[in-house]
Structure 1
């Protein structure tokens, strides 16, 4: 009984394989031409730029970062100096407090509190100004990159130029589509004449 069932299964499997072959044998050339069409169709021109490399090697960005770092450093030094001066005044006040009248003590204390508030207000204003300047520089950076890509794309006709960063939204990028070096070279070439005119 088992042998009859096994023989029947083998015969049915062979019959299904023959029917499958006969059914798809005639349609194979049509399927081959359909699969050839996408190979002939031109895909969208998509390239990418490595944003990390662009930022670390673009001269405008490097120069901007140097200027902003210098301003941050100057601000920190200025605030540290003002803070030390205030601490010295407070220490001097504490030494002289026992010899002062109550009215003189209150006046000096109010003066020191006002100076402390002025330093805090100055730090806040300076930090806001520095943040606004950084935002302006970032906008200039974006505009320069966008304008350059727009100009270059008149010849290349890319549909998309993506910004790639490791760990960003693009999980994989084919190195053949990497245009970072070409775009970076072009941006630096355009930036250099602007810098020499300033000097």
Structure 2
């Protein structure tokens, strides 16, 4: 279990998952029940397209300032630190046993050496399994928290988009710049962030 990757993985996965799925979810929501356009090609069609609202959210800013995300990230980082400390303690204890055996091996009988080596081999396997299980458990919790985060944001955006007539909500991230340029007048990050934090503050009371 890598300490650095455990601490940073949640933020990375959250950004990647939201950036990849957010726009599609909002578009799907707004397209439900929408009838195909029967407008003739030309000016009327172009005017209708221009009237549709497209906005974007800066996901870097959103996650940096979203209190729910910060609380979950802190919880996961604390769990990662405890898991790392536990693993380090177990590893140190095992290394001490190995060192003790190496010091005494010359004076031990062949049967005792074989017995001790078999016991140490079993402990080494147990340590490896513990590490794998801890990593798997952390990954599962991380994925579950990421799903909750994604649902929390998209559920609000579906409602917000419908109330404001947004047909498409894009995301921008410096780490994943799918949008190369967007006029700042199209950004709704702050209004989304304010609403999400307000809702979360009510939950915590």
Q: What interval of TM-score do these two structures reach, taking the shorter chain for normalisation?
A: 0.7 to 0.9
Q: What are the residue-to-residue correspondences of 1:64-79 with 2, within 5 Å?
A: 64-79=72-87
In angstroms, what is the RMSD of aligned CA positions?
A: 2.1
Correspondence for 1:173? 182
* Cα distance, 1:53 vs structure 2: 0.6
How far apart are the structure 2 equivalents of 1:38 and 1:113?
73
1:41–1:98 Cα change, 3 Å: closer
Q: CA deviation at 1:39?
A: 7.0
> Partners of 1:137 and 1:195 in 2: how far apart?
17
- Describe how 1:1-199 pairs up with structure 2 within 5 A: 42-166=50-174, 167-196=176-205
Instruction: Name structure 1 gaps, 5 residues minimum.
Output: 1-33
**Corresponding residue number in structure 2 for 1:26:** none
Residues 36-63 of structure 1: CA distance to partner in whole angstroms, max 9, x if unpaired? Answer: x967985210110001111111111111
Gaps spanning 5+ residues in structure 2: where? 1-41
For residue 95 of structure 1, report the CA deviation from its aligned partner. Answer: 1.3
TM-score, scaled relative to structure 2: 0.74
- Residue in structure 1 matched with residue 32 of structure 2 by the alignment: none
**Aligned structure 1 segments of 4 or more residues deviating by more than 3 angstroms:** 37-42
Structure label with greater radius of gyration: 1
- CA–CA distance in structure 2, aligned partners of residues 41 and 172 of structure 1: 19
Task: Tell me how many residue pairs correspond in the alignment.
Answer: 163
